[in-house]
Structure formats: structure tokens, C-alpha cells
Amino acid sequence: MSYPEPRYLGETGESSGFFRPASAGPDLVIGEGGTEVRYLGTGASTNGQFGLYRWDMGAKPSGPDPHFHRTISESFFVLSGTVRLFNGKTWTDATAGDFLYVPEGGVHAFRNESGEPASMLLLFAPGAPREGYFEELAEIAADGRRLSDAEWTDVYLRHDQYMV
């Protein structure tokens, strides 16, 4: 394995970093008393290299069913609590410090079923516009809408999510 081709060709470097303080509130809340999402680094802010999100789940059970993505890999790093991670074969009760990487096409899922709050980092590479998907889920939850199977399929297809 080698380094990729250079993307920056300058000679002196530049001041181009982005800082987000820990005190910044959530960018999105999904469901009543549910998940708080912090957009740490979006595909837009990282020039398409990755998307990094902090996912703080409340005590209420939550998380997607098994699915895969065709265009992005996804990684999970548990910060606190217990998150059930599915690697396509088995579910594991992951705790602080545990990590799961899933390449493109890899079936995966996560759930907080512990009855306690849990927190993790989600990393997507390359940096796809996942915020649109998360925001659409939050809207559906806030409106109390119940989507038909065909409507859910449309949502998933627009956001590179294939349920299994």
C-alpha cells in the first residue's frame, strides 16, 4: 500500500483547518428523546474525503435494520454505553473502545437496546451527503408519518441504503 496522489500541490501549506468545540450542541435530533447527531466533519467540509458524525442515543431502543451501501464504507467506534453492532454474520454487544469497519457492500446494523444512553462515532468514506438522509429520518419521526414500503424504498434508494 502506498500514499495516494497528492491533492495539495503548494509549497508552504495553508491555514485551512476547521475546529468544532465540544460545547457545540447537536445539529439534529431524531425522534422524541431520541438520538442527537453532531456533524463533526461532513463530506462537504472534508472535500469529499469522509463524513464523521457523533451519534448520541438515548435509552429508548433505536437503530437501523441490517443494510448495506454500494458507494461508501462505514465504521463505528463506541465512545460510551453498549451498542449492538452487526457485522453481517453476528451481533456483538460493543462497549467503549470497540470498533467495527464495514466496506462497501458489507451488511451491517447497529442498535442501542441496553436501556441506557450510548454514544459512538460513525465514519463514512468517501464523504457522501449522509446529512440529507439523517435529516429526512428526523422529519419523518417529527411528523409522525408512517411510510409505505414503497416510500421507504424510495428514501433508501436516494441515500445509497439497501435493506436486507
Please give the grid coordinates belonging to residue 101.
469497519
DSSP single-letter state for residue 62: B
Backbone φ/ψ region at 115: left (φ over 0), alpha (ψ -120 to 50), beta: left
Sign of CA dihedral 114, 130, 65, 142: positive
Average confidence score pLDDT of the chain: 96
Place of cell 446529512: 131
Window from 27-41, 84-98, 104-118 with minimum mean pLDDT: 27-41
- Whether the pLDDT of residue 153 is over 90: the answer is yes
Q: What percent of the chain has pLDDT over 70?
A: 100
- Whether the pLDDT of residue 32 is over 80: the answer is no
**pTM for the predicted model, two decimal places:** 0.94
Window from 31-35, 38-42, 103-107 with minimum mean pLDDT: 31-35
Domains and their CATH numbers in the chain: 51-130 (2.60.120.10)
- pLDDT at res. 31: 86
**Please, are residues 94 and 75 in contact by the beta-carbon 8 Å criterion?**
no
Q: What per-residue string of b and e applies to 79-105 under the rule 16 or more CB within 10 Å gives b?
A: eebbbbbbeeeeeeebeeeeebebeee
